Structure 1
């Protein structure tokens, strides 16, 4: 009899236990509206947290004192590169992240930033007033195939500078490829207007004396922006002096012909940068964007020179320095 009397009590206790394991709104009686709004959820969470805090008195002290700073960055080895970082590296030719997500250090050495910003503002004024309107008109008037021929022509004229610097860097195989490319485009390509060497899979590379100085050990150099020439480092300023005697255009004694070719080269180079004008215009700090992208690209080129890793295709020109042969300057050596 005692067992029979106790059985209903046990059934009732089990039912109450099962109900206690369910959320509060699951046990609401039929016909009663359940408030599932965010405010109600927040209130439920707060109540649950209060109940948990009041009952869990035996929680270890170390667990209570655990850090709660969600803004603390994870260790570099645990952080995978974001999509934005991948896009930036792809756009500017930057070093790809390693397998564990760590990117090589990109030191920004810009102690002359106040001066550089003033020069950058001056260059932007000149660009908006002269260079960009000329480049826009050039793209509207000159057909694409003709613009491609102009770009091929000036790229081919850069070959002597590239070949010499590849030899100075101890890369005779690359210099041989560049020489073969130059001869092929100069003959079969009708003076470089066409690019049969690329169809023959001959690699296209660009080297200058600034990169050579970097390969020789001048790795860290302060950033400087020159009027008209744009982004540089002090190392690359000295590199201009090394490249100047190798420029085929600068050997032209007729001033009108030389300056005309140099002006056309500048317009051609500026037309290739029209695609990134919107990105520069929408940047929070356009100076920082240009500086960091240029230094990243430059450091990437020098690191590849040191490691012997050279792309088997055309180098990206969106952050390339303006070559000395493109600037209308007097021929001091003549």
Structure 2
């Protein structure tokens, strides 16, 4: 009879799964599309790429020489339980602003959760150092005025990297200006105490980003990676399952 036909087995693949740094990056910025680090100028939402890249280089230099060493020293000196308490404290401070923005977005349930979380952690959680609200079923909410503007109709916006503040869009720059005066830290009257608290808050934020340093260093284009991942994350925060309407015109 005819010889048995043999079907070649598919080639074995031993591609490694995502690294811990990649998982941490996705946790912070959301999943990155396959073309997220595409060639320069490939993102139509970034018409000011030349300017943004120059600001990105400035921000990276400041990070490498100031922010990252401060975060590394903080991790080396401060015990992990204390760092967790600091992180909880600053996370809880943001809940009143989240509650207000959730209300402005027409989400009263989320607004109530954010406000309830703030009150519970501020009292039973000893000023927010501990987090009993999570065990009580009150999830952390992260709403800001940039998201509110998106929900109100400012759906598309040009990407803009700001000195010191990092990735934004034009819309989110206006959002930042709207949220900043409401920050509880800004209400501290004593200048030294306020600046010191803001400095600790920035060090805490940079510490949370340390897990993705190796991923950024290994990227072919660190700027494009951060930009596209940040834009995807913002789209999800604002529109969620509703998705983002891709309009043909240039974003505002």
TM range (shorter): 0.7 to 0.9
Question: CA shift at 1:90, angstroms?
Answer: 4.8
Secondary structure, counterpart of 1:110 in structure 2: coil
Give the match for residue 150 of structure 2.
214
Change (3 A) 1:248 1:306: farther
Give the match for residue 180 of structure 1.
116
Residue number among 155, 173, 188 corresponding to 1:237 in the alignment = 173
Larger radius of gyration: 1
d(CA) in 2 for partners of 1:279 and 1:221?
27
Residue number among 93, 98, 101 corresponding to 2:30 in the alignment = 93
Is the 1:135–1:267 contact (alpha carbons within 8 Å) kept by the matching residues of 2? yes
Residue number among 136, 142, 145 corresponding to 1:200 in the alignment = 136
Residue number among 229, 234, 248 corresponding to 1:293 in the alignment = 229
Question: CA shift at 1:108, angstroms?
Answer: 4.8
Give the match for residue 160 of structure 2.
224
Report how many residues are paired: 217
Change (3 A) 1:305 1:196: farther
Is the 1:178–1:203 contact (alpha carbons within 8 Å) kept by the matching residues of 2? yes
Is the 1:94–1:300 contact (alpha carbons within 8 Å) kept by the matching residues of 2? no
Give the match for residue 202 of structure 2.
266
Give 1:32-181 correspondences, 5 Å limit.
Answer: 90-91=26-27, 92-94=29-31, 108-181=44-117
Is the 1:108–1:295 contact (alpha carbons within 8 Å) kept by the matching residues of 2? no
- Of the two structures, which has the highest relative contact order with CA contacts closer than 8 Å and spacing of 6 or more? 2
Change (3 A) 1:123 1:172: same
Question: CA shift at 1:245, angstroms?
Answer: 2.2
Runs of 4+ off more than 3 Å: 87-92
d(CA) in 2 for partners of 1:95 and 1:142?
32
d(CA) in 1 for partners of 2:3 and 2:46?
62
Query: Structure 2: where are the runs of 5+ without partners?
Result: 5-16, 34-42, 244-252
d(CA) in 1 for partners of 2:3 and 2:185?
83
TM-score w.r.t. length of structure 2:
0.81
Question: CA shift at 1:94, angstroms?
Answer: 4.0
Change (3 A) 1:108 1:137: farther
Secondary structure, counterpart of 2:160 in structure 1: strand
d(CA) in 1 for partners of 2:149 and 2:242?
11
Query: Structure 1: where are the runs of 5+ without partners?
Result: 1-17, 24-82, 97-106, 308-334
Cα deviation code 1:267-322 (max 9, x no counterpart): 00000111000000000000000001100100111112868xxxxxxxxxxxxxxx
Is the 1:215–1:305 contact (alpha carbons within 8 Å) kept by the matching residues of 2? no
1:257 maps onto 2:184 in alignment: no
RMSD of aligned alpha carbons: 2.2
d(CA) in 2 for partners of 1:284 and 1:152?
34
Is the 2:32–2:229 contact (alpha carbons within 8 Å) kept by the matching residues of 1? no
Give the match for residue 53 of structure 1.
none
d(CA) in 2 for partners of 1:294 and 1:116?
14
